[in-house]
Amino acid sequence: MTKEFATAAVPIESSTVITTTEHGLVCGDVEIEIDGFLLPAYRAVEIGKANAPVVIVIPEIFGLHEHIADVVRRLAHCGYMAIAPDVMARHGDATTYENIEVLRSELVSKILDTQVLADLDLVIDWAGTQGGDLSRVGMTGFCWGGRITWLYAAHQGRAKAAVAWYGRLSGYTSANAPYNPVDIARELQTPVLGLYGEADTGIPMDTVKDMQTRLADGTDASNASRFIIYPDAPHAFYADYRPTYRPEPAKAAWQEMLNWFERNGL
């Protein structure tokens, strides 16, 4: 069954919403036990697919809602075991908030980056118990999840490749979120492909240039990382349920993600 869209994400642009079939898939909600906490997640894989490469999908700020679940199904139809963990769930359900500013202040601000990274480690372990091939792990994330994707790439090298969709690169920090991607750009252990929009008013192009400069002066994985910038594309240009959706760059960027995973051994 499909999920609902996040409350704070309305109104939904229903004319452009993509709904990916569940046919041929084992898919749906699961719970991953982590030290007594049941972490909600959405998982999809082709029926009968053994030793599938694994892709972890990190949700946007709206949490694990229907758009993210559909992305998981899209990846499953491409041959991956895809899993989207609700890494915000320790502090509440992001999908139920009606206002994005309240969501940021009451939930997102409480999230510890270190806890999220540790949870992602254990989600990967769980994928292995479900038949996923842990020698072929990828990661991708959108918006809030794009930032986390960059951080995880510096956390450790279990993922062979990562793709960050318009994740914030610099800006504010806090005790719970002390680093931005620019701060760890030279320390990556996984090569990252950044998919960004030139018209994204929240991520100025000078921050992308700063990130590129730092990547060039870092580890081999940092050096191998790169950006693709889509002219006239705003923030969330892949989000087909929002007015920001841009079909052409969205389609092109999706293929670039698949190519990146393939080139890096997934």
Task: Show the domains of the chain with their CATH numbers.
Answer: 7-261 (3.40.50.1820)
Distance between CA atoms of residues 216 and 210, nearest Å: 10
Parallel/antiparallel/unpaired status of strands 25-34 and 37-46 = antiparallel
What's the whole-model pTM score? Answer: 0.97
| Model confidence at 131: pLDDT above 60 | yes
Q: What is the pLDDT of residue 60?
A: 97
Q: What is the mean pLDDT of residues 73-101?
A: 97
Catalytic status, residue 220: no
Catalytic residue among 200, 220, 232, 240: 200
Q: What is the pLDDT of residue 195?
A: 98
Catalytic status, residue 78: no
- Low-confidence winner among 11-15, 31-35, 98-102, 260-264 (lowest mean pLDDT): 11-15
- Binning the chain into helix, strand and coil, the percentages to the nearest 5 are 40, 20, 40
Catalytic status, residue 27: no
Q: What is the pLDDT of residue 9?
A: 85
Model confidence over 210-260: pLDDT tens digits?
A: 999 999 999 999 999 999 999 999 999 999 999 999 999 999 999 999 999
Q: What is the mean pLDDT of residues 136-160?
A: 97
Catalytic residue among 86, 155, 235, 240: 235
Distance between CA atoms of residues 123 and 155, nearest Å: 15
CA distances (Å), 239 to each of 38, 159, 175, in order? 28, 24, 30
Q: What is the pLDDT of residue 11?
A: 80
Parallel/antiparallel/unpaired status of strands 133-142 and 81-85 = unpaired
Q: What's the one-letter identity of residue 109? A: S
Model confidence over 198-222: pLDDT tens digits?
A: 999 999 999 999 999 999 999 999 9
**Both tokens assigned to 230:** 């889509």
Q: What is the pLDDT of residue 201?
A: 95
Cβ(63)–Cβ(88) below 8 Å: yes
Listed in sequence order, the residues at least 6 apart from 65 whose beta carbon sits closer than 8 Å to its beta carbon are 3, 4, 5, 6, 9, 59, 95
Q: What is the pLDDT of residue 1?
A: 55
Helix 113-129 / helix 144-155 crossing angle, nearest 10 deg: 80
**Both tokens assigned to 165:** 């969709």
Catalytic residue among 27, 65, 143, 155: 143
Distance between CA atoms of residues 121 and 116, nearest Å: 9
Model confidence over 24-63: pLDDT tens digits?
A: 999 999 999 999 999 999 999 999 999 999 999 999 999 9
Give the DSSP letter of residue 162: E
Q: What is the pLDDT of residue 65?
A: 96
Instruction: Look over the chain and give the mean of its residue pLDDT values, rounded to a whole number.
Output: 96
| Helix runs in 113-219, H state only | 113-129, 144-155, 181-184, 205-215
**Both tokens assigned to 2:** 């499909």
CA distances (Å), 115 to each of 71, 98, 122, in order? 24, 25, 11
37 - beta bridge partners?
Answer: 34
